[in-house]
Amino acid sequence: MDRRTLLAGAAAVGASALTGALPGRPAAASAGTGGRLWRTGIAGLHDAMAARVARRELAGIVYAVERRGRLHVDTIGTLSLDGGEPMRRDTPFRIASLTKPIIAVATMMLVEDGRLALDEPVDRLLPELADRRVLTRIDGPLDQTVPAARPITVEDLLTFRMGHGMIFEPSFQPPYPVITAAKELRLVMDQPDPRTTLGPDEWIRRFGTLPLMWQPGQRWQYNTGALVLGVLIARAAGQALETILQRRVFRPLGMRHTGFSLPRADASRLPGLYLGNPGTGQLELQASSPPDEWTRPPAFPSGASGLASTIDDYLAFSRFLRNGGVHRSRRLLSARSIRALTTNHLTPRQLADAGPVLLAGRGWGYGMAVSVTPDAVSAPGRYGWEGGYGTCWFNDPHRDLTAIALTQTVDFIFNGASDEFQRLAAAAAS
- Return the number of other C-beta atoms located less than 10 Å from residue 296's C-beta: 12
Q: What percent of the chain has pLDDT over 70?
A: 91
Res 411 pLDDT > 60: yes
Cα distance between the two ends of the chain? 35
254-272: b or e for each residue (b if 16 or more CB lie within 10 Å)? Answer: ebebbbbbbeeebbebbbb
Please report which confidence band the pLDDT of residue 37 belongs to, taking 50, 70 and 90 as the band edges.
confident
Q: CA-CA distance, 132 to 150, in Å (whole number)?
A: 8
Res 71 pLDDT > 90: yes
Res 16 pLDDT > 70: no
Please give the full DSSP string across 70-136, using - where no structure is assigned: EEEEEEEEEEETTEEEEP-TT--EE-GGGHHHHHHHHHHHHHHHTS--TTSBGGGT-GGGSS-EEES
Q: What is the CA radius of gyration of the chain?
A: 21
Q: CA-CA distance, 157 to 397, in Å (whole number)?
A: 25
Which residue type occupies 113? D
20-24, 173-177, 388-392: least confident range: 20-24
**Three-state DSSP class for 18?**
strand
Res 13 pLDDT > 50: no
pLDDT digits over 329-351, tens only? 999 999 999 999 999 999 999 99
Crossing angle for the helix pair 99-113 and 224-237, to the nearest 10 degrees: 40
What's the residue count for the chain?
430
DSSP 8-state code for residue 221? -
Q: Where are the domains of the chain?
A: 102-241
**Average pLDDT value over all residues in the chain:** 91
| The CATH number fitting domain 102-241, selected from 3.30.70.1230, 3.40.190.10, 3.30.360.10, 3.40.710.10 | 3.40.710.10
**Three-state DSSP class for 271?**
coil
Which residue type occupies 93? F
Q: What angle do CA 405, 407, 412 make, to 5 degrees?
A: 85
Res 318 pLDDT > 80: yes
